[in-house]
Structure 1
Amino acid sequence: MAPLLEAIGIGKTYPGGTVANDGVNLSVNAGEVHAVVGENGAGKSTLMKILFGIEHPDRGELRLDGKPVSFANPREAIDAGIGMVFQHFSLVPSFSVYENVVLGSEPHAGIKFDRAKAIAEVRALSEKFRLQVDPLPPVGSLPVGQQQRVEILKALYRNARILILDEPTAVLAPQEVAELFVAIRSLVAQGRTVIFIAHKLPEVLEISDSITVMRAGKTVGQVKAREVTEQSLATLMVGREVALKVDRADTDQSRRVCAVQNVTILNERGNEVCADLSLNVHAGEIVGLVGVEGNGQAELLEAVAGLRPVAAGAIDLDGSNVVPLSVLERRGIGLASIPEDRIASGLATGASVAENLVATKLNDRRYVRNGLLDLKAIGANARKLIERFSIRVSGPNAAVGTLSGGNMQKVVVARELSEQPQLLLVSQPTRGVDLGATQFIWRSITDARDAGAAVLLSSADLSELLALSDRLLVFYRGRIVAAFLNRGDLAPETLGTYMLGLSTQTPDEMRAALK
């Protein structure tokens, strides 16, 4: 039987000469879950945009039902039965679920919007595909997992036979992932085909039938999920053996470095995002902050770094309250920070690698003399750190904006860990970073911990938190609702129960892990 959808010899080069796709082949059979995996920059997103009519190939051919097709825009792809759910949703928060689903394709009774029919059709679709979404509430009131299902309903309402899901599990708690997989299996059982773009290999192996692996803009293999392991798939993606875990040394964790005491933090609208929060971080340990994004973890790290005001409470660093201190003063007593958004907050992309590597040290006499930059010393520092942190760059004077995501992140890590910090704040350290760079960044963070740094780590990737953390604190609506010692038997599903607010530990249950 001919494949339902094929991409044959697809090539795409962007202005400036970046080759995103170089002879890519993809063959998707009807009624299967087909995963497409690869490191960041492998060309997955470009290929999906071509399949959905957002981008247009320079060469190659698409075939649907065995016949050549070409999509000038997403509307043509939708009309051909292809739907796509992007990682960042396109929903109107104030509209109800059913209004979002039918927007642009509303049913009518005469010239009037047939509201009753729209509600009935959305409810029927939800029940048919086990998506379990109420059509009536405003989308803005729904958790992120439900919002994702609204996006899936939008595609199904437009009769999508092929559904492309772009990193669908990136923002979901484990229970929400399980519910999504139930819905995907229901879609496939009822004749739909799903293309699943992902980087979390255990999930890929769990949900997919076939897997296409991309590397550096090329297809390097298509395999059956049942015939590969996580390790062999990682090796195929990267082109070499990759360690999927990191070892942590035994450390003395008796000295408290940072104490957050009854801290309340407000957002820009004056609403509480963290309420009466208390926690400790000790030398030689990594404390992982667990939670669905938007539950206060990011705001806490910003407050400790000095980037967000504290409405009440104190933050002690090595015995001194740092709340009145500036960012520079906090750095002067041993705080280092790897921010969530490396481009917006961590780097000056138009400046050189060398300049970025000393951007937090412009009052340091090693690099500034009599008010003038010592370019020779700055260049020497850059060459040393480029080698130590394996940054792939043409030289110290290259603009940071020309580097890959993984190498940009290495520049931030190199700057923050060029000297051993007392307290290291880390937010989403490997988001958008390939496996090879992830391995290196994990090792750099644990090396700082092993050398005595206290580390506060926030990540949307539970596997990352479980791999790196000594203790785990679960946030829900700005409060700590559970605390665990990471002894190796802690399951993501256990954390997920608390992440979604389904359970809360008692103070006695949390005491040992809050120490």
Structure 2
Amino acid sequence: MANDHIDLTVEPGEVHALLGENGAGKSTLMNQLYGLLQPDEGEILVDGEARTFRSPRDAIAAGIGMVHQHFMLVPVFTVAENIALGSERTRLGFLDRRRARREVLEVSERYGLPCDPDALVENLPVGAQQRVEIVKALTRDVDLLILDEPTAVLTPQETEELLTVMRGLCAAGKSIVFITHKLKEVKAIADRITVIRRGQTVGTATPDTPEDELAALMVGRAVSLEVAKEPAEPGREVLSITGLVVDDDRGVRAVDGVDLTVRAGEVLGIAGVQGNGQTELVEAVMGLRPVRTGSIQVDNEDLTAMSTKQILRSGVGYVPEDRSLDGVVKEFTVAENLVLDQYDREPYGNALRLDSAAVGTKARELVDEFDIRASSTGTAVGTLSGGNQQKVVVAREMSRPLRLFIASQPTRGVDVGSIEFIHGRIVRERDVGTAVLVVSSELDEVVGLADRIAVMYRGKVLAIVPPDTPRDKLGLLMAGITGDAPAAPVFEAGDSPASADEGTE
């Protein structure tokens, strides 16, 4: 049972946050409100009138729009074509493109949502694609807008822009249901908060409720919002990157002469505003992007010319930043996804056959160990919540012996309880002697996990600093500002931050 006698009231002009852990039933509830699913019991009232929604068309006609966690856009269509899709206006039997463009521009200007109607969606960054989804809903003249995990794939800057847009929409008289599990965002934007746990409403709260109380309501127990770890005991140098130069998809230099080392038993965190070469750096290490110059070695073994499969088989674990694109095969089952990088090796199979019994046994173990919420291991992974898909990826990569573990945005789209669990597993991996490289756009996550922090800006590593570096200094480095004073001290693995002069800028 995904939803169990849930009551929810949304008032005009308010942001109503729907808070809950992954798999709690938040998206299922909203999919019923949007006509994608039909309830077995209960009723939906719009302006006091009972309504039945057999499809999204019915919901849109009632003034309800929805922006899904995974965008419903056609990549090869323009912005105007995507927004016209489903409610096409024709002129002399042809799509009225001028009218579609005009509607995009009018709505964009009215609500402060800049969109280029002629841009191809596949060429837009994630934040811009989300604006397109919101504009698409607003062109239908909706009064209630449902935003399903809207910040899961956004940078901090894009998130702040979205919160500003939400405030503007409410000022214009729209109501918003904000589905999330990010406590800081809830406290920043919500007027009221409803908490759902395992399909039931467990309480309502106001934005001034302390974060630890909200977390406990979500998960059903006390949750530590800080990473618990002992000081690192670094060993041998495992990952060595020297003079690395990598281009992005446009042929523009994205990584510009990077030197980095990660030692056994330490976490190196990479901080920086997204788009400063972090993605290309990790993809180069994993053999997913060609290296122009430089070398990448793991335990003195050159990975530069290896395939991704060879790199994985050499003892490297990898959690990609986009799980839906690079982390899972949505049509495959949970069990199949948990052996994607070992399916042709004993005991799971060989070149000729897959041992379904062995795969199933291992999958059940990992589902229990990593608390993956699925009806069975035979469930298609694409039907799981985004956070549970992430746990499938993490479970797969941590289920084998590793020399190097690379996690790019490891807790993106994951609730506080699962964040606590994943952080704990990363620290445990470090403590058994694995070298760990973490890339995250969440500065709190980098500071909490890292034993050293490398700050990237425009493809270069500006500094390597300890995790107790003041946030304002980290922020300046992330903006490319090193100041006239000496650069932040550089610490090699094993050095104590306390050994540096007090007050070094």
Mapped pair 1:230 → 2:211: yes
342-351 or 24-33: bigger deviation: 342-351
- Could you say which residue in structure 2 is the equivalent of 1:323? 304
Q: What's the % identity of the aligned pairs?
A: 42
> What's the CA shift for 1:316?
1.6
- Report the Cα distance in structure 2 between the residues aligned to 1:81 and 1:24, rounded to whole angstroms: 22
Amino acid at match of 1:427: S
Are the structure 2 counterparts of residues 332 and 115 from structure 1 closer, same or farther at C-alpha, using a change threshold of 3 Å? closer
Are the structure 2 counterparts of residues 237 and 190 from structure 1 closer, same or farther at C-alpha, using a change threshold of 3 Å? same
Secondary structure of 1:72 counterpart = coil
Structure 1 unpaired stretches of 5+: 1-18
- Could you say which residue in structure 2 is the equivalent of 1:59? 41
- Could you say which residue in structure 2 is the equivalent of 1:68? 50
Secondary structure of 1:150 counterpart = helix
> What's the CA shift for 1:464?
3.0
- Report the Cα distance in structure 2 between the residues aligned to 1:481 and 1:90, rounded to whole angstroms: 38
Structure 2 unpaired stretches of 5+: 494-505
Mapped pair 1:43 → 2:25: yes
Residues 17-416 of structure 1 aligned to structure 2 (within 5 Å): 19-93=1-75, 96-105=78-87, 119-135=101-117, 137-226=119-208, 228-253=209-234, 255-265=236-246, 274=255, 276-290=257-271, 297-298=278-279, 300-306=281-287, 310-324=291-305, 335-338=316-319, 341=323, 356=339, 359=342, 362=345, 389=369
Secondary structure of 2:4 counterpart = strand
Are the structure 2 counterparts of residues 387 and 113 from structure 1 closer, same or farther at C-alpha, using a change threshold of 3 Å? closer
Are the structure 2 counterparts of residues 98 and 449 from structure 1 closer, same or farther at C-alpha, using a change threshold of 3 Å? same
- Residue pair 1:174, 1:493 contacting (<8 A) in 2 also: no
Amino acid at match of 2:423: W
Secondary structure of 2:437 counterpart = strand
- Report the Cα distance in structure 1 between the residues aligned to 2:75 and 2:400, rounded to whole angstroms: 45
- Could you say which residue in structure 2 is the equivalent of 1:464? 445
Amino acid at match of 1:213: V
- Residue pair 1:22, 1:218 contacting (<8 A) in 2 also: yes
Secondary structure of 1:196 counterpart = strand
- Residue pair 1:171, 1:293 contacting (<8 A) in 2 also: no
Are the structure 2 counterparts of residues 388 and 138 from structure 1 closer, same or farther at C-alpha, using a change threshold of 3 Å? closer
Are the structure 2 counterparts of residues 137 and 505 from structure 1 closer, same or farther at C-alpha, using a change threshold of 3 Å? farther
Amino acid at match of 1:281: V
- Residue pair 1:94, 1:140 contacting (<8 A) in 2 also: yes
Amino acid at match of 1:50: Q
- Report the Cα distance in structure 2 between the residues aligned to 1:492 and 1:76, rounded to whole angstroms: 52
Are the structure 2 counterparts of residues 492 and 124 from structure 1 closer, same or farther at C-alpha, using a change threshold of 3 Å? farther
Deviations along 1:331-374, one digit per CA (max 9) or x if unpaired, are 67654444564997579966969x959949957xxx79xx9x9x
- Report the Cα distance in structure 1 between the residues aligned to 2:112 and 2:305, rounded to whole angstroms: 52
> What's the CA shift for 1:117?
5.7
Are the structure 2 counterparts of residues 334 and 76 from structure 1 closer, same or farther at C-alpha, using a change threshold of 3 Å? closer
- Report the Cα distance in structure 2 between the residues aligned to 1:492 and 1:92, rounded to whole angstroms: 41
Secondary structure of 2:3 counterpart = strand
Secondary structure of 2:224 counterpart = coil
What's the TM-score, normalizing by structure 2?
A: 0.77
Amino acid at match of 1:30: P
- Report the Cα distance in structure 1 between the residues aligned to 2:116 and 2:373, rounded to whole angstroms: 51
- Residue pair 1:462, 1:492 contacting (<8 A) in 2 also: no
Amino acid at match of 1:439: E
- Residue pair 1:258, 1:318 contacting (<8 A) in 2 also: yes
What's the TM-score, normalizing by structure 1?
A: 0.75
Secondary structure of 2:471 counterpart = coil
Deviations along 1:210-238, one digit per CA (max 9) or x if unpaired, are 11111111221222223x11111111111
Deviations along 1:421-473, one digit per CA (max 9) or x if unpaired, are 43222234334554433322211211232444321123455543343223444
Amino acid at match of 1:512: V
Amino acid at match of 2:51: V
Secondary structure of 1:195 counterpart = strand
Amino acid at match of 1:448: E
Amino acid at match of 1:250: P
Secondary structure of 2:153 counterpart = coil
Deviations along 1:64-94, one digit per CA (max 9) or x if unpaired, are 0000001111112111111111223334556
Amino acid at match of 2:206: K
Mapped pair 1:430 → 2:408: no
Amino acid at match of 1:315: I
Mapped pair 1:441 → 2:422: yes
Deviations along 1:480-505, one digit per CA (max 9) or x if unpaired, are 5776543263269938x95xxx7576
Are the structure 2 counterparts of residues 488 and 246 from structure 1 closer, same or farther at C-alpha, using a change threshold of 3 Å? farther
- Could you say which residue in structure 2 is the equivalent of 1:11? none
Amino acid at match of 2:475: T
- Report the Cα distance in structure 1 between the residues aligned to 2:372 and 2:117, rounded to whole angstroms: 50
Are the structure 2 counterparts of residues 513 and 84 from structure 1 closer, same or farther at C-alpha, using a change threshold of 3 Å? farther
Amino acid at match of 1:49: N
- Residue pair 2:15, 2:175 contacting (<8 A) in 1 also: yes
- Report the Cα distance in structure 1 between the residues aligned to 2:86 and 2:344, rounded to whole angstroms: 53
Are the structure 2 counterparts of residues 23 and 487 from structure 1 closer, same or farther at C-alpha, using a change threshold of 3 Å? same
- Could you say which residue in structure 1 is the equivalent of 2:499? none
- Report the Cα distance in structure 2 between the residues aligned to 1:423 and 1:52, rounded to whole angstroms: 44
- Could you say which residue in structure 2 is the equivalent of 1:512? 490
Are the structure 2 counterparts of residues 268 and 225 from structure 1 closer, same or farther at C-alpha, using a change threshold of 3 Å? closer
Amino acid at match of 2:151: T
- Could you say which residue in structure 1 is the equivalent of 2:496? none
Q: CA RMSD in A?
A: 4.7
> What's the CA shift for 1:22?
1.7
- Report the Cα distance in structure 1 between the residues aligned to 2:176 and 2:467, rounded to whole angstroms: 35
Secondary structure of 1:211 counterpart = strand
- Report the Cα distance in structure 2 between the residues aligned to 1:108 and 1:491, rounded to whole angstroms: 54
> What's the CA shift for 1:313?
2.4
- Report the Cα distance in structure 2 between the residues aligned to 1:444 and 1:359, rounded to whole angstroms: 21
